[in-house]
Amino acid sequence: MRIVDVEMRCCRKKPEQFEAGAFRTGDFQGFEFLVVTVKTDEGLSASMFGFAGRSAEGAGKLIADSVRPFLIGRDPRDREKAWHEFRTADRWWGHLPIYAYGPFDTCLWLLSAQAAEQPLYKYLGAYRESVPVYGSSMILSEPKDYVAEALRAKAEGLRAYKLHTPGNDIDEDLEAHRLVREAVGPNFRLMSDPVSVYNLEQAIRFGRVLEQLDYYWFEEPLYDEDVHALRELSRTLEIPIVGTEVLAKHPYSIAECIATRVVDRVRADVSWTGGVTGVMKTARLAEAFGVNCEVHTSIFHPLEIVNLHCCAAMKNCDFFELLYPVEGFSFGLAEPLQIKDGLATPPNRPGLGVELDWDDIDACTMKVV
Ligand SMILES: [Mg+2]
């Protein structure tokens, strides 16, 4: 089986739900994303969404020029060969963004799973049939907004809730965390992700309050590359420190983070850390050191389904993350994600197991590159 064509669509969608500031960095103009399709000479094809920052046309052109000639002619089942040769090619004359290769690696896995007539998680080697879900907030205006959302997530049966607080004022951020704990009571898991807004001194102070409030983990309080301070923080606090979702070149870049406990749990996802190969290598590496790999949201639901297949094929991940409210992100799939009693179930059909929503993708397509 050989790859004969790689199609790339540059897409934009603006859901109505989001307020200015929901993504912290200025006004939200809509999601820019790619939809890549890898076709073979045997009639099989696989498609996947790809992250594109603030410019689908910019990212699409950049990535297409490097990845299309790299993939055409390859056997999609030779994923490990492609992975290592892409690593070399990217080092020499590529230097693509961290989100470039993930969708293509994912398509290779989907083609392989389709050819084997297996759902992706079974093809990977399943560990479980469903995974507990947590709702992951956007940036909200006021502490009371987090309270309302956490209560809604709990009422819907989700297994946990994570706050992304604004980071403008440490005391206001802490107040939101306090109020949410008071509102949901003691027996509901809560996590905190300030997305690298504090320094070490502030993070120690913040983390000690989270410990008193029985938060389950404290994620990316410092930048992922702030290795020395993160290691100090992990040694100082008892609450697990979680990070590495934006470190480039998983799993190699995080081997040291795991071995010397820069963080207590690592992060990976199929969009930013090299597709299914990147996630599973990171998860297995972490597993060997007794460390959890908490899979990071990949934002777009077609990619989230791939994350879910990966979560179902690993033991060392407590939760499947979904951005919340879910309806703001529930586009791209012909059928919604299956969540019942707070557990998400990967589709039990070959490959991805669910069709993409091509009518919506057609409506979102600005350009084919
Ligand atoms: Mg995070």
pLDDT of residue 28: 76
CA of 185 to the centre of ligand 1 (A): 24
pLDDT of residue 24: 73
CA of 312 to the centre of ligand 1 (A): 20
CA of 347 to the centre of ligand 1 (A): 26
For 122-344, give the CATH class.
alpha beta
CA of 24 to the centre of ligand 1 (A): 13
Asked whether the domain spanning 122-344 has the same topology as the one spanning 3-117+357-368, the reply is: no
CA of 180 to the centre of ligand 1 (A): 19
CA of 215 to the centre of ligand 1 (A): 15
- Consecutive sets of 10 residues in the chain, 369 residues long: mean pLDDT of each? 98 79 73 97 98 97 98 98 98 97 98 98 98 97 97 98 97 98 98 97 98 98 97 98 97 96 98 98 98 98 98 98 93 96 98 98 97
CA of 115 to the centre of ligand 1 (A): 34
CA of 220 to the centre of ligand 1 (A): 6
CA of 304 to the centre of ligand 1 (A): 15
CA of 82 to the centre of ligand 1 (A): 29
pLDDT of residue 274: 97
pLDDT of residue 20: 65
Token pair of 243, please?
Answer: 């990070």
pTM over 0.95: yes
Question: Rg of the Cα trace of the chain?
Answer: 20
Q: Tell me the H-state helices in the chain.
A: 56-71, 79-93, 102-115, 120-124, 143-155, 170-184, 200-212, 227-236, 255-259, 275-288, 301-312, 358-364
Phi-psi region of 58 (alpha: psi -120 to 50; beta: other; left: phi over 0): alpha
CA of 293 to the centre of ligand 1 (A): 13
CA of 295 to the centre of ligand 1 (A): 10
pLDDT of residue 214: 98
pLDDT of residue 15: 75
CA dist., res. 59 & res. 24, Å (int): 21
Q: Where do the domains of the chain lie?
A: 3-117+357-368, 122-344
CA of 68 to the centre of ligand 1 (A): 30
* Homologous superfamily, domain 3-117+357-368: Enolase-like, N-terminal domain (3.30.390.10)
CA of 307 to the centre of ligand 1 (A): 15
Q: Are 134 and 193 in contact (CB under 8 A)?
A: no
